[in-house]
Amino acid sequence: MVYLALILATVALDQLTKAWIVDSFKLFESLEIIPGFFNLVYVTNSGAAFSLLADVDSPWRHYFFLVVGALAVVGLTVAYVKMVKVNWYYCPALALIAGGAIGNLIDRIRFGAVIDFLDVYIGQYHWPAFNVADSAICIGAGMCLIINILDIRNQEARERQ
């Protein structure tokens, strides 16, 4: 099953890269890779994307993110079952999103926060640090948008004929 294989590959790559960062760096340590553009850095994020709710000091935050992550994986799998019948290309897109969600969910369970290590910046302007799971989620979401746009255009073309 391609869906499950892509999820497992995404989770494995995500967890292997995070394990390497944890073993190789001290918290907040940074290594410049491309001057003025890209660093490897070991940071944690107890919030959501872009550190949303990271400053909320409440025990519910951790459990909230665990429940949301688990529900997202279930919802994505239900969507996969329905959407793959419409267009097979939803399979890799939804698998990337689910794999990324699982990768970050594993971090929340193990560490209470997500490990981020990819630091893209220009001068002093830094994009929030991210990881392989976040990248997979963004790529999968982008794929879903492109598939939807192409499906709408194909549907409109069929209706004009």
Catalytic residues: 116, 134
Q: What is the DSSP string of 63-131?
A: HHHHHHHHHHHHHHHHHHHHHHHH-TTHHHHHHHHHHHHHHHHHHHHHHSSEEEEEEEEETTEEPPPB-
| Of 104, 99, 127, residue with least CA distance to 45 | 104
CB 16 within 8 A of CB 33: no
What order of strands is seen across the sheet that includes strand 30-34? Answer: 30-34, 38-45, 114-122, 125-126
